[in-house]
Structures are given as C-alpha cells and as structure tokens.
C-alpha cells in the first residue's frame, strides 16, 4: 500500500505555508511533516545545526513504539508523544494514516500552546494531502522501497 499521495510543487508549497504559519504562531523552532516510515517530506523553521533526516526517522520510531505501548495498556492508540528537554522539547502528532507532524520548540514554550496551534496545522496538512490523493489516487508512493542509489523512479525534474 502506498504511504503517500503523489505530491506536486503546489502541494509542497501549501504544506510549507501551513508549517510557516504554525511555526510563527506556536513560537516553534522547526516543524516537519514526515511519513510514518520516518522519511522527511518537508519542513519549515530554523533547522540550522539539526540533522532533520535522523530526527524524522527517530521521531517515527518513537511514535510507533508509543503505539505498541498503547496496545499494552488497552488503548486503541496514542495520538501524540511529547518529550521535554532542558532547552528544547519535541512534540509528535498524528496527521493521518500515513503522516505525522514533528515539532521542536523551546522548553520554556508551553506544550499546551504547541498542541493548540498544532490542531489547526494538522487539519491544514491533512486537507492538502487529501487533495493530492484525490488528484491521482493510483500514483501513491511507498518510500520504504526507495533505492537511494536510484531515486529516479520517485523523483524527477519538473517538466517545463
């Protein structure tokens, strides 16, 4: 089963717009849209000095581990995870069956503020992903089969 709809330039622009608005409203450092396999789709905010590829992969793993824990305590699922650090905190929330929003923010910023603004961002992102799905439902992507040495099957230059 495909994990992502085929995303075109307009989809990424809309996702970036939603993320920019969210980062500003929530006073976040950076926000990422990732697929549940841990692949970074797009991000906005101050990412300098951060390994976003590793953050995406590890955030996905942490979120999916929390889903296993949910089952062990007789919950259907946990919608989000929150990790608090001395300087920065991390919030991961489910967008849809395939994607998550990862937010890195200053620990002094309350997680309630981040959750509040994340709700609208999640809706905006999910809405754009649904638009992309409807545009070409048969052209979804499963990034887990991506051969990094031969990415041409998934990525190519836009035709002029």
The whole-number pLDDT of residue 1 equals: 45
Q: For residue range 60-74, what is the model confidence (pLDDT) as tens digits? A: 999 999 999 999 999
Q: What's this model's pTM, rounded to 2 decimal places?
A: 0.85
In a domain, 125, yes or no: yes
In a domain, 147, yes or no: no
Check whether 146 has a pLDDT greater than 80. Answer: no
- Return d(Cα 55, Cα 100) in angstroms, integer: 12
The whole-number pLDDT of residue 6 equals: 83
In a domain, 159, yes or no: no
In a domain, 160, yes or no: no
Domain that holds residue 80: 9-141
Check whether 111 has a pLDDT greater than 70. Answer: yes
**Number of domains forming the structure of the chain:** 1
With cut-offs at 50, 70 and 90, classify the pLDDT of residue 116: very high
In a domain, 41, yes or no: yes
Q: What share of the chain is helix, strand, coil (3-state, %, to 5)?
A: 45, 20, 30
DSSP-derived letter for residue 76 is: S
In a domain, 116, yes or no: yes
DSSP-derived letter for residue 77 is: -
Check whether 148 has a pLDDT greater than 80. Answer: no
């Amino acid at each position: 089963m495909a994990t992502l709809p085929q995303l075109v330039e307009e989809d990424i622009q809309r996702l970036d717009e939603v993320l920019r608005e969210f980062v500003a409203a929530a006073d976040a450092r950076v926000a990422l849209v990732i697929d549940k396999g841990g692949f970074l789709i797009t991000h906005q905010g101050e990412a300098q000095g951060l390994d976003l590829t590793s953050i995406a992969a590890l955030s996905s793993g942490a979120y999916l581990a929390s889903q296993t824990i949910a089952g062990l305590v007789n919950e259907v699922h946990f919608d989000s995870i929150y990790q608090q650090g001395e300087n920065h905190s991390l919030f991961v929330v489910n967008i849809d069956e395939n994607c998550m929003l990862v937010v890195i923010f200053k620990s002094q910023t309350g997680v309630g503020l981040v959750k509040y603004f994340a709700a609208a961002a999640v809706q905006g992102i999910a809405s754009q992903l649904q638009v992309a799905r409807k545009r070409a439902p048969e052209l979804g992507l499963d990034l887990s089969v991506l051969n990094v040495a031969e990415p041409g099957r998934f990525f190519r230059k836009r035709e002029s």
